[in-house]
Amino acid sequence: MKKIAGIIINCPNQNNLEAMTSHRSIHTVPFGGKYRLIDFPLSNFVNSGIRKIGVIGSYKYRSLTDHLGSGEDWNLSSKSNDLSILHGGKNKKIGEITRISIQDFIDNKAFFRKIAETTEHILLSNCNSIANMDVEGIFDFYLEKKADVVMVYKPNYTSDDLYKGVALEVERNGEIIKILNNSNENMDHFNLYAGMMFIKSTLLEDIMEDAEESGELDLIDVLQSNLDRLNVYGYQMEGYLKIVNSLKSYFDASMYLLDPEIQKELFYSKRKIYTKTKDNHPTKYNEKSKVKNSIIASGAHINGTVENSIVFREATIAEGVVIRNSVIMQNCTIEKNTEIVNCILDKYVKVTEGKVLKGTEDKPLLIKKDSVI
């Protein structure tokens, strides 16, 4: 996988995650007990051997730099500057979502100049696609088709949340003949763009240069307008995919993670999902604790009942507490005789004794970071 650089973009439509992105970039939304959303695309890059990676953040970049550091937890070298955190996310498209911001690329011309001599192909990825992808297989398809662009898609994707994604119409030979906004087409089942594409570096450079003159903002729009002159193909991915950019999609993805088959595909294949390492003591379970079908991270203290839930590092669950179908993030404290159902508790939330918090599966209750209830 030589002559390839990877770029993880800043994803649009973050307001649908409500308070979860009020203080952090969407890249670093906690997931699965110890991970962040960006861990999935970044691990996909690293597992394929890509060693020149740029991450386009947002103005809320502190959580991103804190999580990624120099990239050593992903086997990236600080000496050779394998990982670059880039700025972006300042422009918005009026009336519609900018799916892939060309302006973010233009604002980081220095990065593209730095990698130009050693790069012929660019791999672009969303930061909020949960999947363990075979990037090498996608690249082989890209070379075989002699394509200008290959967009990875998931067939028959079912969406019942706020996701406003990109749907592809694909011919039998893989050629993409139409790119649609699924929210406008009222589709229940469609070929969803999975948030990853290969594109020739020279083509992306030309698009950036033209965009500076034309004012075009969205790479997806540019590709749609030029399908007749570019070789644009779709690669059908297999396996699990979930796009997280709404509160419901986050909650659903968290609950799906309790399925052993999905856990196995994401975390126990030959392609590892890396994250920032922390040295915690093992979770302590009191003799009165009851845990069923849940993921409990290290460093937690469990003294109550936890069912069908995800509990992050260093959370404390007191006696008499009942937690069902919920996500309890890092350093939360749940005091005695509390009931929590269909909820998402962000980091450092404290729920005082005897409280009852209940959401629904369609509308989970979110308690924002540092709240005391």
pLDDT on residue 58 = 74
CATH for 4-267, among 1.20.1050.10, 3.90.550.10, 3.40.50.2000, 3.40.50.1220? 3.90.550.10
Residue 208's CB is within 10 A of a number of other CB atoms, namely 18
pLDDT at 206 over 50: yes
d(CA 51, CA 74): 10
| Measured torsion, CA atoms of residues 151, 157, 163, 168, in degrees rounded to the nearest 10 | 40
> CA 334: distance to chain centroid?
28
| Percentage with pLDDT > 90 across the chain | 68
pLDDT band for position 93 (50/70/90)?
low
Phi, psi angles (nearest 5°) of residue 254: -65, -45
Across the range 120-124, mean pLDDT stands at: 96
pLDDT on residue 129 = 92
pLDDT on residue 156 = 79
Domain topology for 284-367: UDP N-Acetylglucosamine Acyltransferase; domain 1 (2.160.10)
pLDDT at 317 over 50: yes
* CB-CB contact of 294 with 306 (8 Å): yes
Place of tokens 């890209």: 142
Locate 315 and state its tokens.
């959370």
Across the range 102-114, mean pLDDT stands at: 91
| Percentage with pLDDT > 70 across the chain | 91
Mean pLDDT of the chain: 89
Residue 302's CB is within 10 A of a number of other CB atoms, namely 23
pLDDT on residue 94 = 45
d(CA 52, CA 243): 25
pLDDT at 328 over 80: yes
pLDDT on residue 279 = 77
At 43, the amino acid letter reads: S
Structural domain boundaries in the chain: 4-267, 284-367
pLDDT on residue 23 = 84
Q: Identify the weakest region by mean pLDDT among 58-62, 82-86, 214-218, 243-247.
A: 58-62
pLDDT at 99 over 90: no
**Each residue of 275-294: b (16+ CB within 10 Å) or e?**
bbeeeeeebebeeebebeeb
Task: Give the predicted TM-score (pTM) of the model.
Answer: 0.93
pLDDT on residue 12 = 61
Residue 218 is given by DSSP the state: B
Place of tokens 């100049």: 113
Q: By three-state DSSP, how is residue 205 classified?
A: helix
Q: Which residues pair with 56 in a beta bridge?
A: 86
Residue 237's CB is within 10 A of a number of other CB atoms, namely 19
